[in-house]
Structure 1
Amino acid sequence: MTEAETHHRPGTPCWVSLMVHSLTATQEFYSALFGWTFSPGPPQLGPYAQALLGGRVVAGIGVLPPDRQLPVAWTTYLATEDAHATADRIRCCGGTVGVGPLDAGAAGRLVIASDPTGAVFGAWQSREHRGTEAAGDPGTPVRSELFTRESGTAAKFYAAVFGVESAADGPDHRALLLDDGRPVAAVHGLGAALPRERGPYWMTSFAVADADATARRVTELGGRVIRPPGDGAAGRSAEVADPEGAVFTVLAARS
């Protein structure tokens, strides 16, 4: 298993987290799909479990507050060295802070916000919890992508908030977020093709050995396939949803 960066640079995807209604049922789904095991997360976050693969932390799953009608979705967190300053920059750059800065004890501090286009994301200031500890092998998060209406506006927002670079990438309305010239996330401008009922969103891709077999396994476990497996520049992938409706991509990368 490939070890992820022990220190995630500001503006780079560092963590993925999912808030659901049934923690037990969701743990059973991802355990059967990816082979995850679980350990308790920071108590300040309420009922929350850290997903592990080979003993390394790869993701988090928590319980939605019963009094709030929030969508079930995977949230991408970007690293920051100062959650409070990041929250201020988010507001100054046209975004909205929904949660935080929230202290998670010795683990770190977090912010949950939406960018000016409406896409929800998180910012994580690490202390003891450094974020995702493994990458590349099946069951680990390998790609973070933002799907929005206009890529330029969104990319400039993240560049201004987190201090990363942004650059247009070809004629297909795509931009890249770069850290020291290295791509760390893609921003796709879909225009009118972005589903109105869904709105802008961050997508997490998890590595798998076989996208077709994993898509079939999703349906066997009570989830559904949104986009059947197909080949792309990064490899063969499928867009799927777990039993509570959280959407993610499974990607078998090209060797």
Structure 2
Amino acid sequence: MTEARESAGPNGTTHARHAPGTPCWVSLMVHDTAATQDFYGALFGWEFQPGPARLGPYARAFLDGREVAGIGQLPPDRNLPIAWTPYFAATDADHTAETVRLSGGTVGVGPLDAADAGRLAIASDPSGAVFGIWQTAAHLGTEITGVPGTPAWNELVTRDTESVVKFYKGVFGYELEPTVSADFDYVTLHIEGRPVAGVHGVGNALPRDRGPHWLTYFETAEVDEAARLVARLGGRLVRAAHDSPHGRVATVADPEGAVFSLIHAVS
């Protein structure tokens, strides 16, 4: 799951330009941005600065002065699911968006310019899972990983891997590494031999109220304590902390219902 983490020193790994197809940013659209910033600030130590307002009020989250994520405000008349959305790097957002359409996906927003930061589109795969496309300009994306409070991994939770991995391979050129197991349906997506994301087929265990979706994992120093803090801050526990081959993991939701996972990854 967290094979995509590069080795990092005590201050984490700082990234330059992301290779096309690499998850390069995560963003959350909510109704109450002030309360959401308070929640993630208390949980991860994030500080916030205004970002491009092309899609409405938007703030970038910083950790030790480096950008890690974005939080924007939904229009009051839009009753959309509240969810973390990963953005994948693209050399040409317009070309990638057109490839999404030709491959059976849908482009719901854009492509459009986010001031001088870059060009973006928001799309969904044929199963309905939402993701973003980011063509960098002034804004390179997430600047640091490998330390608490930073995105560690992105994983598509879907009914079965076979139905969607061809789509992502066609759009982003991923190399595919299936996990061969009778009871575990998983494909790791690679760019130039490096694992960058995963696709987890869960069959009928897929939540009926969510459908296929991308799940973001955030690094934390102590998963159990972080999960308890989520509850104290008004969120809730979705799946209790447990050990996995990749580290200790818990799945939680913030006060507006956005689901994400906490992980203390093994080296």
What is aligned with 1:215?
A: 227
Cα distance in structure 2, aligned partners of 1:225 and 1:21: 21
1:29 and 2:39 correspond: yes
Unaligned runs of 5+ in 2: 1-10
Q: How does 1:104-183 map to 2 (within 5 A)?
A: 104-171=114-181, 172-183=184-195
So what's the TM-score if we normalise by structure 1? 0.98
- The answer to whether structure 1 residue 232 and structure 2 residue 235 are counterparts is no
Instruction: Give how far 1:112 is off.
Output: 0.6
Deviation at 1:67, TM superposition (A): 2.1
Q: CA deviation at 1:218?
A: 0.4
SS at 1:154 equivalent: helix
Q: For 1:153 and 1:179, how far apart are their aligned partners in 2? A: 20
The whole-number CA distance in structure 1 between the counterparts of 2:179 and 2:20 is 22
* Cα distance between partner residues in 2 of 1:31 and 1:186: 27
Residue pair 1:156, 1:166 contacting (<8 A) in 2 also: no
Q: Tell me, yes or no, if structure 1 residue 98 matches structure 2 residue 108.
A: yes
RMSD between superposed Cα atoms in Å: 1.0
Cα-to-partner distance string for 1:123-181 (whole Å, 9 max, x where unaligned): 11110000000001000001111111111221111110112222322222111111011
For residues 120 and 14 of structure 1, the distance between their equivalents in structure 2, rounded to whole angstroms, comes to 15
TM-score by structure 2 length? 0.93
Q: Structure 1 stretches (4+) deviating beyond 2 angstroms?
A: none
State the identity %.
Answer: 59
Partner in structure 2 of residue 190 of structure 1: 202
CA offset digits 1:79-133 (Å, max 9, x no partner): 1011111110001000011101021021001111110111111111110000000
Work out whether residues 152 and 168 of structure 1, in 8 Å CA contact, stay in contact via their aligned partners in 2: no
Structure 1 runs not aligned, ≥5 long: none
Does residue 9 in structure 1 map to residue 15 in structure 2? Answer: no
**55-64 or 96-105, larger mean C-alpha shift:** 96-105
